[in-house]
């Protein structure tokens, strides 16, 4: 029989008072962190008061993100204005309903109509029937691109002959 001493497991027993105290102290620390975060609001500093080499720009680049977002909103507003001029009210309503259901398809048609309108290729306003035709054409084009064929290529061996009829075996 093995006479080596067994390692003992140290058990730590906490009294209920100790666990409540540690819980309260962790809550207090969390509250202090929250209070500290709320006190760290960005300061409104006059750019003339800053020392040389410092700026009021956000180092994380959030001002650039806001500028890109503003540009995207401007592009969307331009596209909406073009669509309102190029589509009849019924067609515009239908396009907005389609956008709720299938946003990708609607954005594709919006881009198509906007580009055609800017190039002067639209003969008058697009009616609801013409919009339906455009949607069907875009749907057929997408279906054609998404359908892929599987082509099986079997290996030919030296002893195989194309003129052989293997059915009679």
Close Cβ partners of 79 (under 8 Å, ≥ 6 residues apart): 110, 111, 114
pTM over 0.75: no
pLDDT at residue 168 is higher than 70: no
pLDDT at residue 84 is higher than 70: yes
pLDDT at residue 129 is higher than 80: yes
Close Cβ partners of 109 (under 8 Å, ≥ 6 residues apart): 95, 98, 131, 134, 135, 138
- Mean pLDDT of all residues in 52-58: 72
- Mean pLDDT of all residues in 102-129: 89
Give residue 38's pLDDT. 54
């Amino acid at each position: 029989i093995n006479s080596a001493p067994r390692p003992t497991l140290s058990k730590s027993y906490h009294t209920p008072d100790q666990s409540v105290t540690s819980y309260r102290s962790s809550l207090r620390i969390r509250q202090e962190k929250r209070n500290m975060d709320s006190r760290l609001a960005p300061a409104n500093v006059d750019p003339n008061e800053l020392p040389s080499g410092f700026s009021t720009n956000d180092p994380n680049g959030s001002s650039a993100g806001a500028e890109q977002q503003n540009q995207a909103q401007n592009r969307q507003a331009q596209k909406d204005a073009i669509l309102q001029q190029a589509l009849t009210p019924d067609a515009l309503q239908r396009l907005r309903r389609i956008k709720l259901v299938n946003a990708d398809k609607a954005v594709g048609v919006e881009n198509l109509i906007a580009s055609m309108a800017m190039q002067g290729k639209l003969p008058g306003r697009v009616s609801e029937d013409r919009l339906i035709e455009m949607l069907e054409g875009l749907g057929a084009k997408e279906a054609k691109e998404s359908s892929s064929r599987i082509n099986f290529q079997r290996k030919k061996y030296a002893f195989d002959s194309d003129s052989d009829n293997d059915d009679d075996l």
